[in-house]
Amino acid sequence: MKHNSKLNIIIFLTFIFGFGIFNLALFQSDKISSLEQRVLTQKPVFTLARLFKGEFTREFDNYFADHFVFRNTLVKAGARLMNLKGLSGSNEATLVRKGGDNTVKNNTSSDAQYLILNGHSYTMFQYSSGAAEAYAKALNRFKQAAGSKVRVYSLLAPTSAEFIDNDNYKSMTDSQKKAFAHINELLDPGIVQIDAYNAMAQHIKEYVYFRTDHHWTALGAYYAYTKTMEAMGQQATPLSRYEKGNIEQFLGSAYKATLNYKLKANPDTITYYKPFVNYSFTRHLSNGKTLEQSKVVSPDYAKPSIGLYSAFLGGDFPWGEISTDNKNGKIMVVKDSYGNALIPFLLPHFEKIYIVDPRYYKESLTDFVKKQGITDVLFINNSTVARTTGIADLLNQLMDTKK
Query: Among residues 118, 110, 107, which one has the least CA distance to residue 160?
Result: 118
| Average pLDDT of the segment spanning 300-311 | 92
First-residue to last-residue Cα distance in the chain: 72
Could you tell me if residue 85 is inside a domain? yes
Mean pLDDT, the chain, rounded, equals: 86
**Predicted confidence (pLDDT) at residue 375 exceeds the cutoff of 70:** yes
Residues 38 and 186 both lie in one domain: no
Q: Where are the alpha helices (DSSP H) in 310-389?
A: 338-342, 365-372
Q: Are residues 230 and 303 in the same domain?
A: yes
* Nearby residues of 92 by Cβ (< 8 Å), 6 or more positions away: 117, 118
The per-residue pLDDT for 293 is 83
- Is the pLDDT at 130 greater than 80? The verdict is yes
pLDDT on residue 92: 72
User: For the chain, how are helix, strand and coil distributed in percent, rounded to 5?
Assistant: 40, 20, 35
Q: Are residues 377 and 349 in the same domain?
A: yes
Asked whether residue 142 is domain-assigned, the answer is yes
Do 113 and 230 lie in one domain? The reply is no
Q: Do both 263 and 374 map to the same domain?
A: yes
Residue 71 included in any domain:
no
Residue 88 has pLDDT above 50, yes or no: no
Burial bucket for residue 1 (CB in 10 Å: 0-12, 13-18, 19+): exposed
Mean pLDDT along residues 314-339? 96
Nearest to 126 by CA among 112, 105, 107: 112
At residue 152, the pLDDT reads: 98
Mean pLDDT for 356-385 is: 97
Nearest by Cα to 71 from 213, 267, 259, 251: 259
pLDDT digits (tens, 9 = 90+) for 8-21: 566 655 655 555 55
Question: What pLDDT score does 109 carry?
Answer: 43
pLDDT at 108: 39
Can you tell me whether residue 148 is helix, strand or coil?
coil
Contacts for 278 with CB less than 8 Å, ≥ 6 apart: 324, 325
Question: Looking at the DSSP assignment, which residues form a beta bridge with residue 377?
Answer: 152, 332
Q: Give the domain-ending residue among 85, 105, 121.
A: 121
pLDDT at 111: 75
Averaged pLDDT, 326-346: 96
- Going by pLDDT thresholds of 50, 70 and 90, the confidence category of residue 389 is very high
Per residue in 157-203, pLDDT (tens digit) is: 999 999 999 998 999 999 999 999 999 999 999 999 999 999 999 99
pLDDT at 5: 62
- Tell me which range, 56-65, 226-235, 297-306, is most confidently predicted by mean pLDDT: 226-235
Highest-confidence segment of 96-110, 187-201, 303-317? 187-201
Domain boundary among 66, 84, 107: 66
Residue 27 sits in the same domain as residue 143: no
Assigned domain for 207 exists: yes
Q: Are residues 95 and 137 in the same domain?
A: no
Q: Per the structure, how many domains does the chain have?
A: 3
pLDDT on residue 286: 93
pLDDT for the residue numbered 210: 98
Structural domain boundaries enclosing 337: 127-400
60 and 99 both lie in a single domain: no
**pTM for the whole structure:** 0.81
Least confident of 110-119, 133-142, 202-211: 110-119
- Encode pLDDT of 27-39 as tens digits: 555 655 555 555 5
Percent of the chain with pLDDT over 70: 74
Task: Report if residue 380 sits inside a domain.
Answer: yes
Provide the pLDDT confidence category of residue 304 given band limits of 50, 70 and 90: confident
Is position 394 within any domain? yes
Q: Is 397 exposed, middle or buried (0-12, 13-18, 19+ CB in 10 A)?
A: middle
**pLDDT computed for residue 142 by the predictor:** 98
Residues 223 and 97 in one domain: no
pLDDT score recorded for residue 74: 53
In a domain, 192, yes or no: yes
Do residues 33 and 178 share a domain?
no
Query: Which run of H or E residues covers position 133?
Result: helix 129-146
Cα–Cα distance between 198 and 94 in angstroms, integer? 28
Question: How far is the C-alpha of 191 from the C-alpha of 139, rounded, in Å?
Answer: 8
Structure-derived torsion over alpha carbons of residues 54, 60, 64, 66, reported in degrees to the nearest 10: 100
> Which residues, other chains included, contact 267 with Cβ-Cβ below 8 Å and sequence gap of 6+?
211, 212, 248, 249, 250, 251
pLDDT at 37: 52
3-state secondary structure of 76: helix
| 3-state secondary structure (DSSP) of residue 157 | strand
Does residue 387 lie within any of the structural domains?
A: yes
Residue 116 sits in the same domain as residue 133: no
If pLDDT is split at 50, 70 and 90, which confidence band does 62 have?
low
Residue that finishes a domain, picked among 24, 45, 66: 66
Same domain, 287 and 186: yes
The strand pairing partners of 216, in sequence order, are: 209
The yes-or-no verdict on residue 128 having pLDDT over 80 is yes
**pLDDT band at 96; cut points 50, 70, 90:** confident
